[in-house]
Chains A and B, each alone.
Chain A
Amino acid sequence: MEPDFLKRYVEQHKDAFESDALPPNMLGNILGNLKEREKRKAKKVRKLTYTGLAVACSLLMAVGAYLFVLQGTDEIQKDHSKVAANKIKPVALPTISKVEQPIIEKKASAMKPPIRQFAAHQPKANPYKEIYDGLKDSLSVASRLEAIIKVNGMASLSEKLKIELCKTFDKDGNDNVRLAALEVLSKFSGDTYIHEQLVAGLGKQKDPVVQLELVKIMGSNSNPETTNKLIAMANNPFTVNAVKEQVYYALLTNDN
């Protein structure tokens, strides 16, 4: 068998192959997740105890009811001979005239349960729920990205969704998630609220890749506030050169 040079190469450079840093905040997520699981476990145990109690109570009630019915039957059987001795007189049923018949039918139909109305009041499934849940899933980057992808397919955004997406763009700990949120928000940058949040982002976002995309999107905007923010970015010593170049380009091509 020939020697495996590739395996030898990997063995010799193993450390270099694993030199990339870990994604941030994984430990925090793990510890948070562990606590959540413990809480859920405790809740489950409590639920099981309550269920046990409920079952025991139901059994007691059922046995009690059975005994009660049994006792009642005995008494009826005892009284049966007395009752049988007395002849039951036939009770005359009230006769219904032909004029009264339709009125009774009408009343009966009025008493029918309003099926359609009930159906109309059934709770509707909220189509946005999955998206909100995904955006709020602080433990899974993939879930948050998936939720953003779903939003991307929408033609318009509800007010709540706008706020949630802007919150994600503003505060999410993961750069890729913020970048994806920015991409979706850029489609709706004509909206006043979203526009304001994007302008605010020029001062808040610290990741160069996100900054670069944001400047590309907002650069063409001649709003004085945007221009001020761009100038502040250009003057900030912590802004990386590639972003600065994009800022200069935006300022030069800007009409203002």
Chain B
Amino acid sequence: MHLSISINEQELVKQCLAGEEKGYAMLYNKYAKPIYHAVFRVMGNIAESEDIVQEAFCTAFEQISKLKNQNNFEGWVKRIAINQAISTLRKKKMVFADESKLEAVADEEADLDEEFLFQCRVDEVKAAIQSLPDGYRTIVSLHLFEDMGQEEIGNLLGISHATVRSQYHRAKKKIFTVLKDKANYGT
């Protein structure tokens, strides 16, 4: 199964290299959705996410001859799009604060309750993540949805992995607080 998918992707990349519109359209239809959602989770803004995804696909199609691993088109475009999203946030003067030089903060695990979490609806969890401040939301999105490790996120955002770790725990705590408030008070 995996083999056939890989061959298809290679075929589509070849079509793009030949400048065939069909190849562009099929690659877009295959991967636009997860890439758009990844960018939207970082940006939290529909119009800007739309622009970034369009720009990322254009750049990728334009430079598709530079794609080394033709079976990883999705990962490549996603990385272009996420980098673009982070630099857009930076242009908006958003600073990913590095707390490594500050006093160490006790990162006790949030008061997590697995049973409670799994009773929550996806919409509620989604809304709780979206309600986080930009910096926390970026870290949570990259770790939870893009499977990036603390080191990788730290390199991408230009902060230490210790900062990533502490901000991730704080963000998680905030998410649980929002979910619990929603469950208890309906707010």
Q: What residues make up the interface of A, taking CB atoms closer than 8 Å to B?
A: 2, 5-7, 9-10, 13-14, 16-18, 20, 22-23, 26-27, 29-31, 33-34, 37, 139-143, 145, 174, 176
Q: A139–B47 contact, CB under 8 A?
A: no
Q: B54–A31 contact, CB under 8 A?
A: no
Q: A16–B37 contact, CB under 8 A?
A: no
The distance from the CB of A8 to the nearest CB of chain B, in whole angstroms, is 8
Q: B114–A17 contact, CB under 8 A?
A: no
Q: Does residue B126 face the partner (Cβ distance < 8 Å to A)?
A: yes
A/B interface sample: 11 pairs, CB < 8 A: A6-B112, A9-B117, A10-B144, A14-B145, A17-B126, A20-B37, A26-B32, A27-B29, A30-B28, A141-B51, A143-B51
Q: Which chain B positions have C-beta within 8 A of A13?
A: 122, 125
User: Range of interface residues on chain B?
Assistant: 35 or more
Stretch from B5-13, B57-65, B154-162 forming part of the interface with A: B57-65
Q: What residues make up the interface of B, taking CB atoms closer than 8 Å to A?
A: 21, 24-25, 28-29, 32-34, 36-37, 46-48, 50-51, 53-54, 57-58, 61-62, 109, 112, 114, 117-118, 120, 122, 125-126, 143-145, 172, 175
Q: A26–B61 contact, CB under 8 A?
A: no
Q: B37–A33 contact, CB under 8 A?
A: no
The majority secondary structure among interface residues of chain B is: helix
* Across the A-B interface, the 10 shortest Cβ-Cβ residue pairs: A141-B47, A16-B122, A18-B37, A142-B47, A5-B114, A10-B144, A30-B57, A23-B50, A33-B58, A13-B122
Given A34-B58, A34-B62: A26 in contact with B144 (beta carbons within 8 A): no
Q: Which chain A positions have C-beta within 8 A of B61?
A: 30, 34
Q: Which chain B positions have C-beta within 8 A of A174?
A: 47
Q: B144–A7 contact, CB under 8 A?
A: yes
Q: A27–B50 contact, CB under 8 A?
A: no
The closest CB in chain B to the CB of A3 belongs to B114
- CB contact between B51 and one of A6, A17, A34, A140 (< 8 Å): that residue: A140
- CB contact between A26 and one of B50, B109, B114, B125 (< 8 Å): that residue: B50
The distance from the CB of B161 to the nearest CB of chain A, in whole angstroms, is 14
Given A27-B25, A141-B47: A10 in contact with B145 (beta carbons within 8 A): yes
The distance from the CB of B66 to the nearest CB of chain A, in whole angstroms, is 15
Q: Which chain B positions have C-beta within 8 A of A29?
A: 54
The distance from the CB of B41 to the nearest CB of chain A, in whole angstroms, is 9
The distance from the CB of A60 to the nearest CB of chain B, in whole angstroms, is 37
Q: B117–A18 contact, CB under 8 A?
A: no
Expressed in whole angstroms, the Cα–Cα distance for A5 and B28 within the complex equals: 33
Expressed in whole angstroms, the Cα–Cα distance for A76 and B175 within the complex equals: 92
Q: Which chain B positions have C-beta within 8 A of A26?
A: 28, 32, 36, 50, 53-54
Q: Which chain A positions have C-beta within 8 A of B48?
A: 142
Expressed in whole angstroms, the Cα–Cα distance for A5 and B117 within the complex equals: 8
Q: Which chain B positions have C-beta within 8 A of A10?
A: 125, 144-145
Expressed in whole angstroms, the Cα–Cα distance for A143 and B52 within the complex equals: 12
Q: Which chain B positions have C-beta within 8 A of A22?
A: 32-33, 36
Given A7-B144, A9-B125, A17-B37: A31 in contact with B50 (beta carbons within 8 A): no
Given pairs A27-B32, A30-B24, 14 additional interface contacts (CB within 8 A): A2-B112, A5-B112, A7-B144, A10-B144, A17-B126, A18-B34, A34-B58, A139-B51, A140-B51, A141-B50, A141-B51, A142-B47, A142-B48, A142-B50
